[in-house]
Chains A and B, each alone.
Chain A
Amino acid sequence: MNNKILNITNLSKSFGAFKVTDEISIDLKFNEIHALIGPNGAGKSTLIKQIVGTVKHDMGSIILDQEDITDLNDVERAKIGISRTFQVSSIIPKFTALENIVLSLLERSQKTFQLFKSLNSNSKLFSEAKEILLQIELEDRRKVIASELSHGERRKLEVGLALAMKPKVFLFDEPMAGLDETGTKMMINLFQRIKLNSPILLIEHDMDAVFALADRVSVIVYGKIVASGTVKEIKANPIVHDVYLGYEIT
């Protein structure tokens, strides 16, 4: 009946008297990238945390693929198909890049609670993980301990961890922050491909990337969505110009 895979209604969260997200309604349609932009401290990351369930909402509802997941906890939500990247890279520091990806494959392949079978005998897990590393162009770095990866490589690994889960939706929190030009290009290409399987809610400060990628853009300021539309509409919106005072929107 509808073409929305993720539907968020009136999601609110206050820390004390401070409303970080204020009755936010936002949705994701199949095959799209919906960008969420806004100034620092607007509540973007907090919104993601509420969608994944690590921050408890005060009010509102979250529907994923026709199912009300508002009362599920973070692990349950991850299991049924929400995967996210962290704004500040969060990886398993002493695992190699490859092992990080394998970890992310465990749950989907129902291996997490195999207690006595050797991990190394699960060659399928490792070959699948290698394929994912290929997609994020980290294959040649697969044996490197994650804590020794460069900042940019860690950003890619973050995305790889999300990819491995084959979720219903992706929530990416500034995946391109700190990437060089080739890195950003790679991400743009990758996102354009993966959105065909699972749509992406994309938080990003890099406006060029946003405008290149987004099918829709929403602007959040002080916890409220102040504008929403296509790239063209957003570029023409005077409110957005006010918010991004100083930033040339061309």
Chain B
Amino acid sequence: MIKERFFNKWVFLLLLSIPAIGIIFNEPYYITLATKVIILGIAGVGLNLALGYGGLISFGHAAFFGIGGYVAAIMSYHALNEELLFEIPLAISGSSEMLIIWPLAIVISAFFSLLIGLLSLRTSGVYFIMITLAFAQMLYYFSISWPSYGGEDGLSMHMRNTLPFINTMNPLNFFLICLAWFFIAIFITSKLINSPYGMALQATKQNEERVKSVGIETFKVKLIVFVFSGAITGLAGSLYADLNRFVSPSMLNWHTSGEIMVFVILGGIARLYGPLLGASFFIILEQTLGLYTENWQFWLGLILILEIIFARSGIMGLFDKKNKL
């Protein structure tokens, strides 16, 4: 653990140095890139909770990422055109306040996680993978065919949502906001996995039959982690919408689910900071190899295969040999 902590510090310092370089050389693009890494890292932290610690191989986390994104974009859209979002049963108007949008993104993605979890957690293994995928694809096709919010073309936001006293359009400010959320996500995750509940969760991953035999409702255990997981990934989605000031159905596409899963696996399953490392690595590959070849994902695939054969516990595992729970 000492080694992993030490390593985490370095990753963190490196990440901070990127926006610093961006400022010094007046290249805001780097700041945006680092922000993207952080947000994708948050999405990965969310998935890691279910996949890494709970053993729930969800291939549908794009659903929550996309829901979070659309919440942010739709709210801001209605704030701009001053049309009501709903008239019945409550008159709800849009808002461009992040302080309203964030809780809403969390609650709505948690609600969808609960629904999807209730229906899919009765299954396991391949069936679970397929059902979560199917739910996410349903939402994907729904977003394509829903013309009010851009359909296939997606929905642009004319400006970033706002916070009191802070200019969110400033790249560095927005980077720091996302970084704060990243640490909140990490904090919640570490609280959860180190609690009695976390013990039940990690035991369920290893031997569900045994956990049931000592009287623990494993279904409830899994449902809770799935909801937290979906909510965190949903929040990441809303930040991602604000980063790009744009959402489109591609956020809900299975590619996105796959990418979030790649962050988790690359970084090291069930490692607290693994997803951040995975996301960094992914973006670095995209930014470097991507310059030379459009098929950079071929190399990513190769790396993944090598990892699965030789370094099961991901990049983190290379630095910290200690076997984790």
B325, A95: Cβ atoms under 8 Å? yes
**A:120-139 near B, CB below 8 Å:** 120, 122, 125
**How far is A102 from B199 in the complex, measured between Cα atoms in Å?**
9
Q: A103: shortest Cβ distance to chain B, in Å? A: 5
Name the CB-closest residue of B to A93. Answer: B206
Q: B114: shortest Cβ distance to chain A, in Å? A: 15
**B:177-208 near A, CB below 8 Å:** 191-192, 194-200, 202-203, 206-207
Interface assignment of A247: CB less than 8 Å from any CB of chain B: no
Interface assignment of A33: CB less than 8 Å from any CB of chain B: no
Interface assignment of A84: CB less than 8 Å from any CB of chain B: yes
Query: A99's contact among B199, B218, B220, by CB below 8 Å, is which?
Result: B199
Q: Produce 1/0 per residue, B202-222, CB < 8 A to A.
A: 110011011111111110110
Name the CB-closest residue of A to B212. Answer: A75
Contacts A52-B213, A78-B213, A165-B214 hold; do A115 and B323 have CB atoms under 8 A apart? Answer: no
Q: A122: shortest Cβ distance to chain B, in Å? A: 7
**How far is A108 from B218 in the complex, measured between Cα atoms in Å?**
15
Interface assignment of B224: CB less than 8 Å from any CB of chain A: yes
What total count of A-B pairs have CB within 8 Å? 101
Name the CB-closest residue of B to A76. Answer: B215
**How far is A115 from B200 in the complex, measured between Cα atoms in Å?**
10
**A:45-82 near B, CB below 8 Å:** 52, 54, 74-75, 78-79
A106, B210: Cβ atoms under 8 Å? no
Query: A114's contact among B197, B210, B211, B215, by CB below 8 Å, is which?
Result: B197
Q: A37: shortest Cβ distance to chain B, in Å? A: 23
A92, B206: Cβ atoms under 8 Å? yes
- Chain A residues with CB under 8 Å of B209's CB are 54, 90
**How far is A84 from B200 in the complex, measured between Cα atoms in Å?**
18
Q: B278: shortest Cβ distance to chain A, in Å? A: 22
Name the CB-closest residue of B to A73. Answer: B212
Number of interface residues of B (CB under 8 A): 28
- Chain A residues with CB under 8 Å of B218's CB are 75
Query: B216's contact among A75, A83, A117, by CB below 8 Å, is which?
Result: A75
Contacts A91-B207, A95-B203, A95-B325 hold; do A103 and B214 have CB atoms under 8 A apart? Answer: yes
Query: B214's contact among A99, A116, A161, by CB below 8 Å, is which?
Result: A161
- Chain A residues with CB under 8 Å of B207's CB are 90-93
Name the CB-closest residue of A to B210. Answer: A90
Query: A92's contact among B191, B210, B323, by CB below 8 Å, is which?
Result: B210
B196, A112: Cβ atoms under 8 Å? yes
Interface assignment of A206: CB less than 8 Å from any CB of chain B: no
- Chain A residues with CB under 8 Å of B224's CB are 113, 115
Main secondary structure of the interface of B (DSSP, over half): helix
Contacts A90-B207, A92-B203, A94-B206 hold; do A78 and B196 have CB atoms under 8 A apart? Answer: no
Number of interface residues of A (CB under 8 A): 38
Q: B73: shortest Cβ distance to chain A, in Å? A: 31
**How far is A99 from B212 in the complex, measured between Cα atoms in Å?**
16
Name the CB-closest residue of A to B219. Answer: A75
A74, B197: Cβ atoms under 8 Å? no
B210, A113: Cβ atoms under 8 Å? no
A120, B194: Cβ atoms under 8 Å? yes
Interface assignment of A119: CB less than 8 Å from any CB of chain B: yes
B216, A114: Cβ atoms under 8 Å? no
Q: B224: shortest Cβ distance to chain A, in Å? A: 7
Name the CB-closest residue of B to A109. Answer: B196
B197, A112: Cβ atoms under 8 Å? yes
**How far is A20 from B198 in the complex, measured between Cα atoms in Å?**
39
- Chain B residues with CB under 8 Å of A78's CB are 212-215
A107, B213: Cβ atoms under 8 Å? no
Q: B103: shortest Cβ distance to chain A, in Å? A: 19
**How far is A108 from B215 in the complex, measured between Cα atoms in Å?**
8
Q: B268: shortest Cβ distance to chain A, in Å? A: 15
**How far is A99 from B199 in the complex, measured between Cα atoms in Å?**
8
Name the CB-closest residue of A to B323. Answer: A94
A116, B191: Cβ atoms under 8 Å? yes
Interface assignment of A2: CB less than 8 Å from any CB of chain B: no
**How far is A161 from B199 in the complex, measured between Cα atoms in Å?**
15
What are 20 inter-chain pairs, A to B, with CB distance below 8 A? A54-B212, A75-B217, A78-B212, A90-B207, A92-B207, A92-B210, A92-B211, A95-B202, A95-B203, A95-B206, A103-B216, A104-B214, A106-B200, A107-B214, A111-B196, A112-B197, A115-B192, A119-B194, A120-B194, A161-B214
**Contact residues of B with A, CB < 8 Å?**
191-192, 194-200, 202-203, 206-207, 209-218, 220-221, 224, 323, 325
A-B pairs with lowest CB-CB distance, top 10: A78-B215, A107-B215, A111-B196, A79-B215, A104-B214, A114-B196, A92-B203, A116-B191, A90-B210, A115-B197
Known: A78-B212, A108-B215, A161-B214. 18 other contacts (CB 8 A): A54-B213, A74-B212, A84-B213, A90-B209, A90-B213, A92-B206, A92-B211, A93-B206, A99-B199, A103-B211, A106-B196, A114-B195, A114-B196, A115-B197, A117-B196, A118-B191, A120-B194, A125-B196
**Contact residues of A with B, CB < 8 Å?**
52, 54, 74-75, 78-79, 83-84, 86, 90-95, 99, 102-104, 106-108, 111-120, 122, 125, 145, 161, 164-165
